[in-house]
Structure 1
Amino acid sequence: MWTLRRASFRLSTRRGVNAGASRASAVKLVATTSEENEAGIPQSRQITYGRFLSAGMGRVSLKFAVGRHELSSQAGASSTKDDDDDLEIHGSNDESDADLSDGDEDGEKPHDELELSDAEIDPTKKKSQARWTQLKLFKVILNAPGLSVDSALSKWAGQGKELSRKEIFLAVRELRRRKMYGRAFQLFQWLESNKKLEFMESDYASQLDLIAKLRGLPQAEKYIESVPESFRGELLYRTLLANCASQNNLIASEKIFNKMKDLDLPLTVFACNQLLLLYKKLDKKKIADVLLLMEKENVKPSLFTYRILIDSKGHSNDIAGMEQVFETMKEEGFEPDIQLQALLARHYTSAGLKEKAEAILKEIEGENLEEKQWVCATLLRLYANLGKADEVERIWKVCESKPRVDDCLAAVEAWGKLEKIEEAEAVFEMASKKWKLNSKNYSILLKIYANNKMLAKGKDLIKRMADSGLRIGPLTWNALVKLYIQAGEVEKADSVLQKAIQQSQLQPMFTTYLDILEQYAKRGDVHNSEKIFLKMRQAGYTSRISQFKVLMQAYVNAKVPAYGIRERMKADNLFPNKTLANQLFLVDAFRKNPVSDLLD
């Protein structure tokens, strides 16, 4: 782990690292001071870590001390790039970020509902056959109108139908796969109220996860108090931690992590990965602190740990560091999976190292692509990133005769990236005739129209979606907003989004708001910029540096002072990076002084 920490992240000179003989001493968080950093913003408030003692609901930051030697995590330290903190879980524009969204890619999940695996369901059946068996109970729940899932289940049980743990697991898994969390929650409520299932910790964790997704983190945390004490274990808390991290809630995540240590729950690699994933997006400087803690507590990194570290180094344009982490991973006995290979290829492509990227793509493809068609979707996207239209065409021909829906959608995306609109449309039409596509699938083509300023075609596609009975949700809104923005109609994009919110009560994506905010900021429209900034907060998106940077640009472009902006950032426990510090100086410079008043 020490090798990994050194290979992974070298801290800035302001943060000094000394981990010599006393490295084995107890890890302990110490209080930060309230002295101001270079930008004039005070440091974070304190928590203590003997066993990670919590600071309650207050602002939380991590500052580790190892014996007499200190490894601090100062939020004001400069990062490798000004926009390191612009990463976003929800609706990220970065493809590699999608590979790291929930930890599911490497088999790490907050919990396995009902603790059943595919092998336990029926080890002799193929996955397609196993999934077919779940449709019995699942169809009953799916076909139940509105909020009447409980009556449909009562009728099902009244007919003498078996409600085994296996059948319930299959139904819940399918509901989750389709993001039908409300119906899954109704199923659990019915099971509990009718005593049809003897609940275990995994079942309580499933309910907790659904509550967090449907009703928010405060209600999920409150639910824990109603769970029998004997079932309030690591699985329950790590489920809450994963939801906090997935919502980019830094304060809540650190609070729950501290709570787990306070309760003497085992420290797992899953919990550490949640913090790493969050810090990768919001505060990379704290990654080394988590690695130090893992080393001290002898928590071995997983493949997903390495993927997070590799992705973070790639985003920082530190290709040498990325390769060093990769080598460390192999030395520890881990073999790269296709997701990790794709991650490396994307970062090589972004760094302009096309030969290295192509070499990885050849490794992914192997010698006989027809025997491993399941990698085609990945290859199509990666070759499009490289601008290799001939390779995209070659890969598509391999799977064109017997395409999967994933292959088609990847081809649409690839042709769109290469600005081959007709080819993208042709593949999409083929797919729409072969399968019933959902809103997310349509959004791929809609995004292509937006990127190419094809407003009329975008509108026609949305009308087609509505005529097909598809739900117009946040992904579609995001593409529609981009369509209007690209056409120069920012006010129309804003009004369309507000109407959509009023009609559906759904939460727009973070990037949807940010796109509109950026356009108002470019104009120096402070009033509308502040309006969108406020709506982002009301929608539940915690303020972050990226939002303040855009907001500050509105004030800079308008050449007006931003009164109280430092206090607003301080209240959100945010600390300016170099770019934002410069912007703060500019908006301060617009303040009038006695001389300027005389001149006016």
Structure 2
Amino acid sequence: MAHRSLFLSLRRSSGLACAQNRTRFASSGAVSSDLVEESVEGDDLRSRILRLRLPKRSATNILQKWVLQGNPVTLSQLRDISKELRRSQRYKHALEISEWMVSHEQYELSDSDYAVRIDLMTKVFGIDAAERYFEGLPPATKTTETYTALLHSYAGAKLTDKAEELFQRIKDSNLCFDALTYNEMMTLYMSVGQFEKVPMIVEELKQQKVSPDIFTYNLWISSCAAILNIDEVRRILDEMSHGVGCNESWIRYLNLANIYISVGHLDNASSNTLVETEKRITQGQWITYDFLIILYGGLGSKEKLDQIWNSLRMTKQKMIGRNYICIISSYLILGHLKEVGEIIDQWKQSTTTDVDMVACKKIMVGFRNIGLVEIADNLNEILIENNLSPDMIN
């Protein structure tokens, strides 16, 4: 459960794949509420639609009434409202917005509009409906984005055979694809535990002269770490450091990954016993979650760090020192010292592992070695506040 949800975080728009809210309601009450809402003075189309909290209520009706009242509806309005609905996981209403856009010929839809529709159909009606919609599209709309959207749906449902078949169709087409398409296949292989296939996708990406992005590297590194090929991890990190696309986010990622590998004792992970979770995830697989934390630490996304760490704590996973080291380092480099203190306190109270003071000192040394002395000093102060003193260790 945790294994799937965490890797779906790597998907496009950094959104986690969740089920639509299915709140029960009384239909008579919903109708009367529609009438009340429309009487509100000073409202707009966005407000009216966003007030439709219950899934069975119709965004289409709101649009129709808005137009009948003589109000214009622009394509940019619809896209913005749809984006906000998707962000709050209100996929049924977002799909109704998409259907309105498709059914009104005055709107000139983009490739992204069709791709969003495929994703929404998957969430609302399932893979089969999305597949039928894609196959029924005119050839001109079977583009890089729509192909990738369907591949994303297959990968999310772990339909390996269908994903591989579609990926072959993609490679046989004359379209140009970017790293996102390859990342979808890599994410799929990671989610089903076929780590050995990830480097093959990277090789194909390079053969096609496609530039890998930070997600590509994270998936590649995670696959190698999961099978404890640490030498290859270091080689990939070196490749990243010399890459043309290396930027501030990549540098943060590299720093975190190097500190993590130096401190995390990955070479000894293979000797650890299986971790007891609902699906008995191995230590090797669990390492990949750490690299997901490193990724979002590199991207500077505290929100994603919070989500992942909270998800991990809610599982039956028995945390080990390596997991704490990873999240502490990521919060430190982003300057969130309050959270670091809270996690150290959680570590102290853990029944499965004691605070590894040697590892904490190595974290400080790692930050000092890359010139981040202030961050190292911050960690030292937090440890002292928690009645821990790493500077006393020889």
What TM-score do the two structures reach when normalised by structure 1? 0.40
Partner amino acid for 1:188? Answer: S
For residues 412 and 200 of structure 1, do their structure 2 counterparts lie closer, same or farther at Cα, with a shift above 3 Å needed?
same
Q: Which deviates more from structure 2 when the two are superposed, residues 213-222 or residues 261-270?
A: 261-270
| 1:206 and 2:136 matched | no
Partner of 1:295: 206
CA–CA separation in structure 1 for the residues paired with 2:301 and 2:186: 33
Say which SS state the counterpart of residue 90 (structure 1) adopts.
Answer: helix
Partner of 1:101: 10
Partner of 2:132: 222
CA–CA separation in structure 2 for the residues paired with 1:136 and 1:413: 44
Is the CA contact (8 Å cut-off) linking 1:163 and 1:196 kept in structure 2? no
Is the CA contact (8 Å cut-off) linking 2:67 and 2:73 kept in structure 1? yes
Partner of 1:254: 164
For residues 398 and 139 of structure 1, do their structure 2 counterparts lie closer, same or farther at Cα, with a shift above 3 Å needed?
same
| 1:91 and 2:2 matched | no
Which one of 325, 337, 351 corresponds to residue 265 of structure 2?
A: 351
Q: Which has the higher helix share?
A: 2
CA–CA separation in structure 2 for the residues paired with 1:294 and 1:185: 33
| 1:235 and 2:165 matched | no
| 1:322 and 2:233 matched | yes
Equivalent positions of 1:436-475 (< 5 A) are: none
| 1:184 and 2:184 matched | no
Is the CA contact (8 Å cut-off) linking 2:186 and 2:219 kept in structure 1? yes
Is the CA contact (8 Å cut-off) linking 1:245 and 1:278 kept in structure 2? yes
| 1:286 and 2:222 matched | no
Say which SS state the counterpart of residue 317 (structure 1) adopts.
Answer: coil
Partner amino acid for 1:102? Answer: R
CA–CA separation in structure 2 for the residues paired with 1:139 and 1:169: 14
For residues 89 and 157 of structure 1, do their structure 2 counterparts lie closer, same or farther at Cα, with a shift above 3 Å needed?
farther
CA–CA separation in structure 2 for the residues paired with 1:213 and 1:418: 41
Report the number of matched residues. 281
Say which SS state the counterpart of residue 299 (structure 1) adopts.
Answer: coil
CA–CA separation in structure 1 for the residues paired with 2:173 and 2:179: 17
Partner of 1:310: 221
CA–CA separation in structure 2 for the residues paired with 1:197 and 1:184: 17
CA–CA separation in structure 2 for the residues paired with 1:173 and 1:207: 12
- 1:319 positional shift: 2.6
Is the CA contact (8 Å cut-off) linking 2:131 and 2:150 kept in structure 1? yes
CA–CA separation in structure 1 for the residues paired with 2:224 and 2:175: 31
Partner amino acid for 1:251? Answer: D
Equivalent positions of 1:101-500 (< 5 A) are: 101-104=10-13, 136-144=44-52, 145=54, 146-195=56-105, 197-281=107-191, 282-333=193-244, 334-335=246-247, 336=250, 338=252, 342=256, 350-351=264-265, 385-386=323-324, 415-416=345-346, 418-419=348-349
CA RMSD of aligned residues (A): 4.4
- 1:303 positional shift: 2.2
For residues 307 and 397 of structure 1, do their structure 2 counterparts lie closer, same or farther at Cα, with a shift above 3 Å needed?
closer
Is the CA contact (8 Å cut-off) linking 1:140 and 1:152 kept in structure 2? yes
For residues 343 and 325 of structure 1, do their structure 2 counterparts lie closer, same or farther at Cα, with a shift above 3 Å needed?
same
Q: Which deviates more from structure 2 when the two are superposed, residues 145-154 or residues 180-189?
A: 145-154
CA–CA separation in structure 2 for the residues paired with 1:205 and 1:255: 19
CA–CA separation in structure 2 for the residues paired with 1:260 and 1:318: 30
Give deviations 1:291-329, integer Å, cap 9, x for gaps.
332233222322221111112222222333212100111
The structure whose Rg is larger is 1
- 1:227 positional shift: 2.2
CA–CA separation in structure 1 for the residues paired with 2:2 and 2:122: 19
CA–CA separation in structure 1 for the residues paired with 2:326 and 2:202: 38
CA–CA separation in structure 2 for the residues paired with 1:236 and 1:331: 33
Is the CA contact (8 Å cut-off) linking 2:91 and 2:123 kept in structure 1? yes
Partner of 2:364: none
List gaps (5 residues or longer) in structure 1: 1-86, 108-134, 366-371, 401-406, 422-600
Is the CA contact (8 Å cut-off) linking 1:250 and 1:278 kept in structure 2? yes
For residues 320 and 210 of structure 1, do their structure 2 counterparts lie closer, same or farther at Cα, with a shift above 3 Å needed?
same
For residues 89 and 185 of structure 1, do their structure 2 counterparts lie closer, same or farther at Cα, with a shift above 3 Å needed?
farther
Identity level (%): 20
CA–CA separation in structure 1 for the residues paired with 2:328 and 2:133: 55
